[in-house]
Structure 1
């Protein structure tokens, strides 16, 4: 624990005692509370009203079994979750993650982060998260459909367009959202915007697929410009090769950068001539193959087993877009040693606390996930608006709104950091800016 303020330290210690096994959740809370020390010291009403004690506890946790039948007729059982963390500024909003690593700690950490991320967008959305330890990889479409139908058969009673609006996350793409939405519609006999990330024919938003990767680069671009730098001519390393990474590649390239390395869970590729996002898209979205397949398209590229080594590839800008805690201290040291001057997080909490501290201590520009990867949920919010109005905006309309939101998030985070004497510290600035809006709403609504 790195918290010095007695009130905040006491809250954290009580939380840690009750949730000792939830290391991801406690890591996220520790990082936020440390940033909030100057705010709490300047605003005694927060302690008086037990604001911090309330904001670190989810309003509701739903955990349930998900039975389904595989293609061999065997009954399988997974565990499902929905953590509705905070609804002070709007309906719960946050993705569903289907991955074998999912547990209550991971979902609570993601939901907690989502509260502040959603606040930063300026849209009326609370924070939540959900998912299951079900892994869709290697499953047939029929198996995924049966699982999704069983999952929604329980989840439907806890969500709704004015209550909780889930989206996709790792393992939950267009296919899964379609099956989930179909089952919700079938059970409730209603056609409402209860999920985002839907297909375009049934209420989805253009630019949603690209939004997190695009938004990451829009935020990074603002950060770079404010410090006299840019993507133009920069060498970029992107971990991951999923949705976020692919479209971060496209936008970074459009902004003048050259993406020279990308990875998946098996290893990473290096192509000094620049990795074509269209090739990556075909490999990952059409063929659903491993990243090593890139060598079939570009034989001159290099493939290295093991994804952790990607941070040793010399670059100017690093964009971690895979999963939590993927950038450790050793990776941060390698980036600094090779002259990297900016890191912007595209995944949720991909950098370990000691890695973040090392990057900041060595004057590397650092964009934290709750700010820099908010483009996905921002565009989900825009999808909610379109659904409520029964309208469909053009790609350029949505992209323009997304760009404006990301510029505002950077401006607000930078201003909050400076206001509390931490100029340039976007981790603290994002936490403070996101927290302040939620805290003020909670104070206005009484002890609930």
Structure 2
């Protein structure tokens, strides 16, 4: 605009030839200005459309992530029940084998008594005594045999039922695993779309990620890393503003609605004020698990500032609050580390993940999947959660909505 104004001003003091040349130059400048303005508007429109698509994908990811988490819990419960049934069946079979010998001896005694009936009482006194003893023995054996036969019948029926339940559980597990795999593939597809849109919106994402990794190599601890990340973010990124999402519960395919009424994923809680500091006692756990060590209880020095949980294999990790990803990558003894900037000087640190779905600078919504745990059963994957304010750790448990099951 300044350049355009100067061109007009020069025209006032120029001769006829210079005036025409100046008018041509001014026209070109005006055309360039209009083209630049149109391009800027087009880019802004594209950016808004991209943001809208990202928000839509985030809502889909939240819904799908919740279904996957519930499906994973169902499959884990089925696996545990199947293991118990198999152990019961093995115990029942062992008991039957143990009784086999004793039962065979009783049957043999009965067969011998039937093949050699008691002699007539009138033969002689010795025969009379033998007949009495045989009668008494047979009288004692038959009830015992009936009792053992009844016990055997019950055991066999129980074993048959256990085997039927085992086969039913196997089929149920196959169905659950098929649904889990399909939904996991859908999740990965949505994540791919989201990452592609993020790349379009933020072309410097890889540069920012490389800078974060460089900071991580220089930082001595998490507090120092957070300080460096905040200093960097203050130069390049606007302050975090709370976002919102509208999430409607969606039933998993292949499952009856009444079987899901109690555990259909619900929308994540958000502070009415938009401040994380007002979220005490309202946050969802990032992952379902069994508490191994509370705040300050773990033996490992790097895990005493938070809480440690054992999770199921392949467990989904969600963001407990709307956040900007301040860091995603390896860091010292923490392994795969995520740092979530939730505003107001608060940060949430998560580690132990096998896979991270997010990159530095990305904004996520509460309930959005941000990673998953390792695909192993023994030893169980261990997840670490830490809350910090102004770089100082504090106990996260009072901020969580659901009680944590102690190990």
TM-score category, normalised to shorter length? under 0.3
Structure number with bigger Rg: 2
More helix by share: 2
